[in-house]
Amino acid sequence: MRNRKRVLIPLAALLWGLFIFWQSSKTGTDSGQLSDGIVSFLQRFLPISHDILSVLVRKAAHVSEYFIFSALLCVSAHQYRLLLRPFDLSVLFIGTAWAVCDEWIQTFVPGRAGCVQDVLIDMAGVLAAFFLCRLLIRFITKKKERNQNSCSVSSAICEKPSQNLK
């Protein structure tokens, strides 16, 4: 059962990466219709022009897709103890390489174009998830250390009275 769990997160990362590529393979018209539907919904609540909201929705999609992808990569790398070195950049490299490939794929899709600016926006999502995961891992590790230290102290305190009774 434990081995199955260890495979689920890396599999989810791979599937999410393939989902990103699938989204990029949609034509400009299909992609635009999806964005316009979201923009129309949001305009009910936000007094922002359609053009500005459209740009915000599209760029937020880039950041969120790559945030999720990078978070899954970070958890996978942590599971397999690949993030032990302080400056391990493998997750950043994979996320950035994926973003470059994603934009390159779009150059072959009608109505789409690859854009360096979008790679940079994708990298913002990768970086945000990477640093958030690093902070969470550090927090969890320190919490475990504190719990272990408090258990050691309490067990030492408990042992002393019993030793005095002998």
Q: How confident is the model at residue 127 (pLDDT cuts 50, 70, 90)?
A: very high
pLDDT digit string (tens) for 5-64?
778 888 999 999 999 999 999 888 888 888 889 999 999 998 889 899 999 999 999 999
Letter string b/e over residues 105-120, b meaning 16 or more CB atoms within 10 A of that residue's CB: bbeebeebebeeebbe
Helix, strand, or coil here: 27? coil
70-76: average pLDDT: 89
Does the structure show a pLDDT above 80 at 71?
Answer: yes
Please tell me which residue, 43 or 166, carries the higher pLDDT value. 43
Total of domains in the chain = 1
Does the structure show a pLDDT above 80 at 88?
Answer: no
Q: Is the pTM of this model over 0.85?
A: no
Q: What's the pLDDT at 151?
A: 61
Kindly list the distances between the CA atom of residue 1 and the CA atoms of 5, 6, 7, 133, 142, in Å, as whole numbers in the listed order: 6, 9, 10, 25, 27
* Residue labelled with tokens 């950041």: 63
* DSSP secondary structure string for all residues of 141-165: HHHHHHHHHHHHHHHHHHHHHHHHH
* DSSP secondary structure string for all residues of 75-100: HHHHHTT---STT--HHHHHHHHHHH
Domain extent at residue 90 = 2-165
Instruction: Extract the tokens encoding 92.
Output: 């950043």
